[in-house]
Amino acid sequence: MHTLIPDLLDFAPESQQVANFLGQLVELGAAPLDGKLRVGRLSGQFRHGRHPLTGEVLSIPKRDYISSENISDILPLLKGLNDYDVVVSGQGPPKLPPFGLRTFEEIPEKVGHHNFIESDYKGTYAFDVQCCLRADVVSTSDPHPEISPAPEIPCFGEPCASKTRRTGIFHHPSTGALIEVPNAGCARFWIALEFGRWIFPNIEGSLNVLAPSILRGAEECFEIKFVQGCHLW
């Protein structure tokens, strides 16, 4: 999942700005094909489980999703909300892809043994665009100490204990290398572009890979600068 994070941590958009951004994606030819629009609002219930690596008990708020036929129809659904997910789910690639994609290809070496190599991805894929707002500032970093050493900071979506540490911590999706991004560590609002399993942006050293016209459109619609991050899982 590739993320756009406002450079102001407490930024919260107007509902019309969200609608304008989704409409602009359609105009650019960058929206998911055959997209279905949904608005997720807190249900008051929680899902409980354990982190697969740390064993930590997790409590995740559940959301009720309401389908919407038209982008303008989301405006009354968002009225008065300080926590929501607006999701457009469809297929890719659109006419204007957000960036080149890579994947892991399984190559059999011999019977009973397999190897994976990284390659360009040219096929179709599941493609979601999400606009997410939270009531308070949460972490937009994605630290994975099991991949490589990283500072002890909250995982993606968890409350931020310190709102002064603004540097975002991420990992390269194939090499695991640590990537630090100024002003990307926490926010109330973010935009996410999510793809099918084992598909990820073609990243060299920087996460600044989004098509310039899409980034420019987001900054014009929301009237704020965005920095780019990622979320592995």
Contacts of 46 (CB under 8 A, 6+ apart): 59, 60, 61, 62
Reported as a pLDDT band with limits 50, 70 and 90, residue 15 is: very high
Stretch 61-76: mean pLDDT: 90
Reported as a pLDDT band with limits 50, 70 and 90, residue 49 is: low
In this predicted structure, what is the pLDDT of residue 74?
A: 95
3-class secondary structure for 79-134?
A: CCCCCEEEEEEEEECCCCCCCCEEEEEEEEEECCEEEEEEEECCCCEEEEEEEEEE
Reported as a pLDDT band with limits 50, 70 and 90, residue 71 is: very high
Tell me how many degrees the CA angle 49-53-118 measures, rounded to the nearest 5. 120
In this predicted structure, what is the pLDDT of residue 109?
A: 61
Residue carrying structure tokens 């996460």: 207
Q: Where is pLDDT greater, at 187 or 118?
A: 187
Q: How many domains does the structure of the chain reveal? A: 1
In this predicted structure, what is the pLDDT of residue 143?
A: 82
**Structural tokens at position 225:** 């600068």
Average pLDDT, the chain: 87
Per-residue pLDDT tens over the stretch 81-110: 999 999 999 999 999 999 999 887 766 665
pTM over 0.85: yes
In this predicted structure, what is the pLDDT of residue 162?
A: 67
Per-residue pLDDT tens over the stretch 131-149: 999 999 999 998 877 766 6
Per-residue pLDDT tens over the stretch 17-39: 999 999 999 999 999 999 999 99
Counts of helices then strands in the chain (DSSP H, E): 3, 12
Stretch 210-231: mean pLDDT: 96
pLDDT > 70 fraction of the chain, expressed in percent and rounded: 85
Domain containing 30 equals 2-230
pLDDT > 90 fraction of the chain, expressed in percent and rounded: 59
Which of 157, 161, 126 is closest to 142 using CA atoms?
157
Per-residue pLDDT tens over the stretch 158-178: 888 766 678 998 988 888 888
In this predicted structure, what is the pLDDT of residue 221?
A: 97
Does 111 score more than 60 pLDDT? no
Pinpoint the alpha helices (H) of the chain: 15-28, 74-78, 212-222
In this predicted structure, what is the pLDDT of residue 51?
A: 56
